[in-house]
Amino acid sequence: MSANNDGKGRMPEVTFSTFILSLASSTLVQLGEVPDPATSKTAAVDPLMARHSIDILDMLREKTKGNLTDQESQMLESMLYELRMKYVMKCGNA
């Protein structure tokens, strides 16, 4: 089954990488780093949701250990590092 976007085109194939990218993008919105795609406006920083999203990515990293390709594993590790650094810079220990 292929998903479409209300007839406006095809959605990207659902893979582990696109799923992780989607979660990371949401985290960047929650950190006020990028505009929300739905509104094109940069939202206020939401430390609680950003931390929750980072925790979800970390849980996925733990649960998928040994089951990812090297590329997927490196991508996830890199994203987690970058998101954690951005979180600390924006939110401190919130």
**pLDDT in 10s for each residue of the chain, 94 residues:** 445 455 567 877 899 999 999 999 999 999 999 998 888 999 889 999 999 999 999 999 999 999 999 999 999 999 999 999 999 999 876 5
Tokens of 52: 């929750």
pTM (2 d.p.): 0.82
Give the number of other Cβ atoms within 10 Å of residue 54's Cβ: 21
Task: Specify whether the CB–CB gap between 48 and 91 falls below 8 A.
Answer: no
Nearest CA-CA partner of 23 in 46, 57, 51, 58: 57
- 40 residue type, one letter: S
Q: Cα–chain-centroid distance for residue 49?
A: 12
- 91 residue type, one letter: C
